[in-house]
A and B are shown apart, each in its own frame.
Chain A
Amino acid sequence: MLDIKNLHVAVGGKEILKGLTLSLQPGQVHAIMGPNGSGKSTLSYVLAGRAGYDITEGSITYNGEDLSALKPEERAAKGVFLAMQYPVEIPGVTTMTFLKTALNAQRRARGEPDLDAIGVLKLVRAKAKTLNVSEEMLKRPLNVGFSGGEKKRLEILQMAVFEPKLAILDETDSGLDIDALRLVAEGVNALRDPSRAMLVITHYQRLLDYIVPDRIHVLAGGRIVAEGGKELALELEAKGYEHIVKVPA
């Protein structure tokens, strides 16, 4: 479903990803681990199509299509979802309005009819319940004044509502206490599906106790420097990144 080959990405003229290769099949959950500054968020942004993240070499193929040729909103409509490390506040736009606008924009791009307000409300409410997202939160402006945990829960709620084919979760665990982490992980696990692939980005092993990946890639200095099964996470946890990888300067 996702094939990244020898990907080089520059931001502001500075090369951040330096030849990354990775392949992901439907139904799989892969984890990307790596120290701060290793390029994890850069990878997530380039997959989502953020402006300013320039591919200088290599390719990204998504369901047989050149992903880099698509606009960010076209990728979203085709099932690419990025749960962001730092969800953004949009003052004055209620969470519910945002969800409705986004969902219908995606549906329209796929040639599906709009869902009316009541349809969206029903859909969102049903999903919100399991993630402990309150009715009141849905009425507040998007992410404005939300706690770290609330923001992350809302990202997962959006994932549940949009039902993407490829979900990238960028440090969804950061800033969460153990209860919040468990809740979010349960939400993610509930969305595991034979037709859906997930790329779980994390700095810590902790999240992977709850979301058990099929495969782990260790990213350092813009390259994959180690790969393995779920036990690799424990090794990293015990010995630290320095022992597994020689972090290039």
Chain B
Amino acid sequence: MSIAVETKQQVAEIGEKYKYGFVTDIEMDMAPRGLSEDTVHFISAKKGEPEWMLEWRLGAFKRWLTMKEPNWARVHYPKIDYQASYYYAAPKNTPLKQSLDEVDPKLLETYKKLGIPLHEQMALAGVAVDAVFDSVSVATTFKDKLNEAGVIFCPISEAIRDHPDLVKKYLGTVVPVTDNFFATLNAAVFSDGTFVYVPKGVRCPMELSTYFRINASETGQFERTLIIADEGSYVSYLEGCTAPKRDENQLHAAVVELIALDNAEIKYSTVQNWYPGDENGLGGIFNFVTKRGDCRGKKSKISWTQVETGSAITWKYPSCILRGDESVGEFYSIAIANNYQQADTGTKMIHLGANTRSRIISKGISAGKAQNTYRGLVSVYGKAKNARNYTQCDSLLIGGECGAHTVPYIESRNPTARIEHEATTSKIAEDQLFYCLQRGIPQDEAVSLIVNGFCREVLQQLPMEFAVEAQKLVGISLEGSVG
């Protein structure tokens, strides 16, 4: 069965577009509402953190109090009341370090419904999963097999306790505590997330994946991910995200730090499908995320691939610092904004080392009354001789009420640098649609087919299993967008 049709059937079966919108009814352990030093103490204590971690958080919190929410992005939203949210929510009875058999069956059921099998025997061959439910990691699969290879794949709260030296050495070295309003907030109150360390010369034997789920209402999710690829190692990592349908806006402010040492490669893929709000723009996740990779070693490589279909607001710029000579940064992006969604996303490629190369392929799709902005920076420093960048930004408009905007910033301080930028804007043409209809392909399936074609270069970058999922999502997100 073709993907588009399967998608349509799924949508029809569920009778609504956002099939992840259900709520799991489970008893929660919550921090008191609001944000203060006490909240930070509360979270740190819940996690059983060492003193140094608490100090780090408190420093971040102090700093955050002095900072202002940024307003330069092309997104508009009502003022966020940071005292109105809960900053910690965990399912009750989640003992630390449990085997899958001890996980609350309601949680296992939730992930099953989401299509994320946690039971190892059921799990997709070759994909290890860390499942983060609101503020805690509830299960991590394939740990033993990864241990054999020397790969550490665990909740970051666990890494802070069990691998403090690694965490201390790398945490906050790519996205400093002081980086920006949302990143600093995250440093103060992050609750969980994933930690990965791939030792020297190891090719991680399977795809690693984290599945983030917001469940509790009026709760922010602040996860933190730290991935270190030691010399000559390779890892491919994927994150997925969903949330229930709610009329309120919920804040999600994550931080992701990647570090690639000499000759190491990290491939980081995201399929972001947070609840986008309804057709009238009510509800949906505010997604303010700081993701940055540091190609610290020579000939290292970091590749970001993102498929952004969800969230009411997306504010996200996965970036690469190309520090090592001959290092390579890549950014492949699909951003879909429908109805009243607003997306302001792109990347920064910071060329510090000699012979560094970067490649940016961005596909923005706007439909309904949505606004979609690509915002990117390519910066070549004085020492980055022979730096190369290629940027291609394509926008596709569906209907006459949406907007696409491209804001590229280019700075070069080295005359040997070569920077290329190409941009196109197009519409789904009536003749393309008619051609599909004439061959028997119904309208929604035709839109899905054409848009998937438009995004092909990016979809090809995703690991197989996720490419299929992503193609379906593209179809679902645009259901009914053409007359």
Q: How far is the CB of B227 from chain A (nearest CB, A)?
A: 31
B83 within 8 A of A: no
What is the interface residue range for chain B against chain A?
Answer: 20 to 34
Q: Which residues of A contact B450 (CB under 8 A)?
A: 90, 93
* Residue ID in chain A nearest B430 by CB atoms: A51
Q: Is the CB of A93 within 8 A of B453?
A: yes
8 A Cβ contacts from B436-450 to A: 436-443, 445, 449-450
A226 to B39, CA, bound (A): 88
Contact of A88 among B4, B431, B453, B457 (CB under 8 A): B431
Q: Which residues of A contact B453 (CB under 8 A)?
A: 90-93, 141
B390 within 8 A of A: no
Q: Which residues of A contact B436 (CB under 8 A)?
A: 90, 102
B280 within 8 A of A: no
A98 to B366, CA, bound (A): 23
A108 within 8 A of B: yes
Q: Which residues of B contact A98 (CB under 8 A)?
A: 439, 449
Q: How far is the CB of A170 from chain B (nearest CB, A)?
A: 11
Please tell me which stretch of A33-41, A68-76, A199-207 contacts chain B, meaning at least 4 of its Cβ atoms lie within 8 angstroms of it: A68-76
* Residue ID in chain B nearest A114 by CB atoms: B1
Q: Which residues of A contact B2 (CB under 8 A)?
A: 100-101, 104-105, 114
What sequence of 0s and 1s flags, for each residue 97-131 of chain A, a beta carbon within 8 Å of any chain B beta carbon? 11011111110110000100000000000000000
B82 within 8 A of A: no
- Report which residue of A93, A109, A158 has the largest number of chain B beta carbons within 10 angstroms of its beta carbon: A93
Q: Which residues of B contact A17 (CB under 8 A)?
A: none
Q: Which residues of B contact A71 (CB under 8 A)?
A: 437, 442
Q: How far is the CB of A67 from chain B (nearest CB, A)?
A: 13
Q: How far is the CB of A158 from chain B (nearest CB, A)?
A: 7
A side interface size, CB within 8 A: 35
B373 within 8 A of A: no
Q: Is the CB of B440 within 8 A of A76?
A: yes
A3 to B5, CA, bound (A): 34
* Residue ID in chain B nearest A101 by CB atoms: B2
Q: Is the CB of B438 within 8 A of A72?
A: yes
Q: Is the CB of A162 within 8 A of B439?
A: yes
B208 within 8 A of A: no
A158 to B445, CA, bound (A): 19
A93 to B436, CA, bound (A): 12
Q: Is the CB of A76 within 8 A of B437?
A: yes
Q: Which residues of A contact B413 (CB under 8 A)?
A: none
Q: Is the CB of A101 within 8 A of B437?
A: no
Q: How far is the CB of B451 from chain A (nearest CB, A)?
A: 9
A114 to B445, CA, bound (A): 15
Q: Is the CB of B435 within 8 A of A106?
A: no
Q: Which residues of B contact A100 (CB under 8 A)?
A: 2
Q: Which residues of B contact A188 (CB under 8 A)?
A: none
B452 within 8 A of A: yes
A71 to B429, CA, bound (A): 18
Q: How far is the CB of B86 from chain A (nearest CB, A)?
A: 43
A139 within 8 A of B: no
Q: Is the CB of B449 within 8 A of A93?
A: yes
A171 to B435, CA, bound (A): 16
A92 to B361, CA, bound (A): 14
Known contacts A92-B456, A141-B453; is-contact A82 B441 (Cβ 8 Å): no
What sequence of 0s and 1s flags, for each residue 76-101 of chain A, a beta carbon within 8 Å of any chain B beta carbon? 11000110101111111100011011
B354 within 8 A of A: no
- Report which residue of B436, B437, B438 has the largest number of chain A beta carbons within 10 angstroms of its beta carbon: B438
What sequence of 0s and 1s flags, for each residue 40-53 of chain B, a beta carbon within 8 Å of any chain A beta carbon? 00000000000000
- Report which residue of A49, A77, A87, A102 has the largest number of chain B beta carbons within 10 angstroms of its beta carbon: A102
A87 to B432, CA, bound (A): 9
Contact of B440 among A73, A86, A92 (CB under 8 A): A73
Q: How far is the CB of B63 from chain A (nearest CB, A)?
A: 45
Q: Is the CB of A158 within 8 A of B1?
A: no
Q: A97-B449, A106-B439 known; 18 other A-B pairs, CB under 8 Å? A: A49-B438, A50-B438, A73-B437, A73-B442, A73-B443, A84-B438, A88-B431, A88-B432, A90-B436, A92-B453, A92-B457, A93-B453, A101-B445, A105-B440, A105-B445, A141-B453, A162-B439, A162-B440
Q: Which 10 A-B pairs have the closest CB atoms?
A: A92-B453, A76-B440, A93-B453, A92-B456, A106-B440, A102-B439, A72-B437, A88-B435, A105-B440, A105-B441
Partner-B contacts on A (CB < 8 A):
48-51, 71-73, 76-77, 81-82, 84, 86-93, 97-98, 100-106, 108-109, 114, 141, 158, 162
15 contacts between A and B (CB under 8 A): A48-B434, A49-B438, A51-B430, A71-B437, A72-B437, A87-B435, A88-B435, A92-B456, A93-B452, A101-B4, A101-B449, A102-B439, A102-B441, A105-B440, A114-B1
